[in-house]
Amino acid sequence: MAANIRGASLIIAVDPQSRRLELAKKLGATHAVVGSDEDVVAQIQKTSGSNGVDYTVDRAGIPQVVEKALDCLGTRGKAATVGTPAAGKRAGVDVCLLIWSWGASALGVAKATSFQERYAEYLSSQLPIANCWLDATLSY
């Protein structure tokens, strides 16, 4: 919904659970990809119609998900990881491809809980429908 509010025309939701993908579609996702599929990156690149997407947001914090989020980026794409992997967990990244070839960047978002609270407060102040969205997403 936040991407929809900001005017994104292509919003691809990725999740291993079909019920969450259905919710994502109700909240504005234009496409849904089953996250446990082998070819998630290829599906996203095909859907985007280019070499990848402009933005990815990972909320899982699972190293393999972080890797796929980075692999999905197109030229000058930006990835944000809100989920936090356990200490010592590592994700493999092709640094040369990420930085030199594509000019992409990655960002770790610290203190996600306080960010989510501020964002929820902002959304509910901007749109009456946001309260319905918050109720639906928080229950998942």
User: What pLDDT shows up at residue 79?
Assistant: 85
Write the DSSP string, 40-107: HHHHHHHHHTSSSEEEEEE-S--HHHHHHHHHTEEEEEEEEE-S-PPTT------HIIIIIIT--EEE
User: What pLDDT shows up at residue 140?
Assistant: 46
User: What pLDDT shows up at residue 41?
Assistant: 92
**Closest Cα partner for 47 from 23, 18, 13, 78?**
13
**Ranges of residues in the chain whose predicted pLDDT is under 50:** 112, 128-131, 133-134, 138-140
Measure the CA angle with vertex 106, ends 105 and 109; round to 5°. Answer: 145
User: What pLDDT shows up at residue 133?
Assistant: 47
Question: Structure pTM?
Answer: 0.71
Please, which residues have CB within 8 angstroms of residue 81's CB and are 6 or more apart in sequence? 58, 61, 66, 69, 106, 107, 108, 109
Q: What tens digit of pLDDT does each residue of 13-38 get? A: 999 999 999 998 988 899 999 998 88
Please, which residues have CB within 8 angstroms of residue 10's CB and are 6 or more apart in sequence? 30, 31, 47, 48, 53
Give the pairing of strands 31-34 and 12-15. Answer: parallel
| Domains with residue ranges and CATH for the chain | 2-110 (3.40.50.720)
